[in-house]
Amino acid sequence: MNGRIFGIDARILVLVFSVLAAGVSASAIDMKALEPLNKAILEADGVWMSKSPKEAIPKYEALLAKLTPEEEFIRPMLIMRLAKAKLATDGKDACLAVLAKLDAVSYVPKHIRMDADELKSVLAGKGNPGMAKTPVPPLENPVKVWYVCSGSKKGGDGSKRAPFAELAEAVAAAKASGAKGRKAILLLPGRHTMDEPALIENIDNLTIRSADPLHPATLTCGVVLKKWSRLTDKALLGRLPAASADKVLACDLAANGAPKIGPLLFGGFASQRSAGGSHRFKTMPVPELFYGREAQPMATWPNKGYTRLPVMERPKKDPGRYLRWAKETDLWLHGYWRQTWADAYEKVESIDGNGVITLEEPVNRYGFGRRMGRAVNALCELDVPGEWYYDSAKSMVVYFHPTGFDPEKCVLSAFETPIVANKCDGLRIRNLKVEYVRGDAITLTDCRNSLLFDLSISECSGLGIRVRRGTGCVIHSCVVRDMGRGGIDLLTGDWTKLEPGGSVVENCRVSKLSRIDRTYTPALLAEGMGLRIQRNEFQDIPSSAIRLEACDALIQLNVFRRCVYESGDQGAIDMWANPLYRGDVIRWNFFDSIVNQKTHFGAAAVRCDDFISGFMIYGNVMLHGSDHGFGATQFNQGADNYVEGNVVVGWVKAFSGCSIPPKRWKAKVTRHPNAKKVLAEVDWKSEAWKRKYPKIATLFDDPEKHNYLIGNTLVDVKIPRAVKLGIFIANRKVDANADSLAAATKLSPPWYHIPVDEIGPYPAR
């Protein structure tokens, strides 16, 4: 093999490293007692990198031969090192002989088992199944086809010569046809205004796609506001600030073909109007005004950021501003009222003569300890070009238009979700654009074997794609951007019953989210079991990119860039308060610029919050993180997490957080509301759970409650160790320049293969 492992020359990675200082004592495994083992592994690793894998082999063999019972946790990692050294020097058979030793180990962490199985597959000439791309079905020859053409006359029969005028007509025809086999609805190029949803219910083997994938059709729920006039309503004019009094235009929505939308209704994560105590809170169908495809801000104060507002208290200064607000008829406040990680909108009920603001019930579920907020839809604060005000009583928009205003570029998101599918098998939605939706763009409920491919979804006030229940959903090569809430909400499979969903999110790009609801609106909310999330790009996300509520999820080969820049107490990948989530592997991802300067928590690349245990965080590159608060990987009281083979560059801490001693673990877990709830409702003591997740059998009886931090490469990290009850073995602090993914990956030692060329999206087929 000439000293090469997976294409990497074992001799070119010569690192300058220092052995890290002794760590914190644990309850059953004492880090001080492990220091000789730590030094011995570092010495063997150094021999491989500075000399050759052949010379390191006897050192690894000697280590394996004399491991004490307290050191047994390191055996699988040493076996993998030895196997790869044997491959580099003695060939395939020698490597396989070493890998067979894993079968005699009582517990092999999942990422190690995957690495071993994939290596065996490669050596057998079958390729690496871990890096396989999900195939997309080719365009089919359907048994029946209906065409839809925007602007065509009503009364068509769906043929190409007499197409339907609306998608809903074609869906009804497909359901009524009774045709067996694959059916297809083809949308001809152009913009198809969806003033009502196309309800697809109990229709199997249906494809909805553009007739010409190179010129995709667009489903739009927006209305172009062409008719504007000067504002003449004296009551409204009297509330305008001097800066805009003679510069605004008014638009009668009915005169422009927009529906009557009614009063504004906002929510947010902490709002009791929408949250209901769940991360999967409701979308409020908020209308938005766009100019030149840019969402325009509602009239607000302050124009940037948040300030303390006199909610149920007298203002300390400037009461006149709040007295002016008292004249507003549909005024809302948006803020981080108590927690930096929980936003909510509050409806103003009244403002008294002292400027004290009283809110309409129900108010947010966390209270008002901080009172940091801003006014929304305040006509008296409409003072910046681009701001607008919505008057629901008059069904009117008042707009402080920009210079050179062109009404043809002004669009209101007026209609709600254009595609709603329920209880379908084999539904395929392909090659479409969806835009300007008041609410969520596409929703699927109780559907099986669905494909959402090559969709471009943008400028919506809710989510891009929402999948509730069902199995076998593939979301592939989609773009979701510029959303009022989150990107993709995927609930598939049932981890509580150990029922895999078999669903995939692959090759998607999700960016610029949370314009309206700021927190717990991730690029991907993934819940269930057996999920595969790979080769995606998540970029410019104020909160988490992935919120994970699942077992057996594989998150790999993704790019996370500029996430968690606003919300506190979060990670780019975030999990919370469920000690039963097991079998999850996060590997080969690139985290870039996960920085938060606004809260004392900073931000983490991977955040394992409140008893999250048994996660495998392996072979990731974590570049440029927060200079305070959390480390690249953050733990909060969980255990049995493995953080191995990662390259961490430019963080204040490589790792942070803690586990808790075994004697206190059960009491802490069973007092936590969410953890207590899932432990009571799930049959986790069953033989099926114990067979699948062996560590579950000793959830409260294991004398060892540790997190294992092994073989990580640390560059420009101020605090390498900050994890109580953390076991630190063979981590290296390296003096090098690594300002890119490629440069950082080169610092990874040869026994950890990070497939840098496979990370991120690829051209859609």
Quickly list H helices, 280-360: 319-325
Write the DSSP symbol of residue 685: T
- The CA distance from 459 to 436, in Å, is 5
Using the predicted structure, report yes or no on whether residue 384 has a pLDDT greater than 50.
yes
- The CA distance from 313 to 194, in Å, is 46
Name the pTM for this structure.
Answer: 0.94
pLDDT at position 277 is: 61
pLDDT in tens, 594-653: 999 889 999 999 999 999 999 999 999 999 999 999 999 999 999 999 999 999 999 999
Determine the residue type at 403. T
pLDDT at position 765 is: 66
Average pLDDT, the chain: 93
Q: How many CB atoms lie within 10 A of CB 176?
A: 9
pLDDT at position 317 is: 86
pLDDT in tens, 461-483: 999 999 999 999 999 999 999 99
Average pLDDT over every residue of 272-300: 91
Average pLDDT over every residue of 121-148: 95
Backbone dihedral region for residue 178 (phi beyond 0: left; psi -120 to 50: alpha; all else: beta): left
- Residue 307 CA to chain centroid, in angstroms? 28
Confidence of residue 28 (pLDDT cuts 50, 70, 90): low
Determine the residue type at 301. W
pLDDT in tens, 155-186: 899 999 999 999 999 999 999 998 999 999 99
- The CA distance from 510 to 486, in Å, is 9
pLDDT in tens, 479-525: 999 999 999 999 999 999 999 999 999 999 999 999 999 999 999 99
Using the predicted structure, report yes or no on whether residue 6 has a pLDDT greater than 90.
no
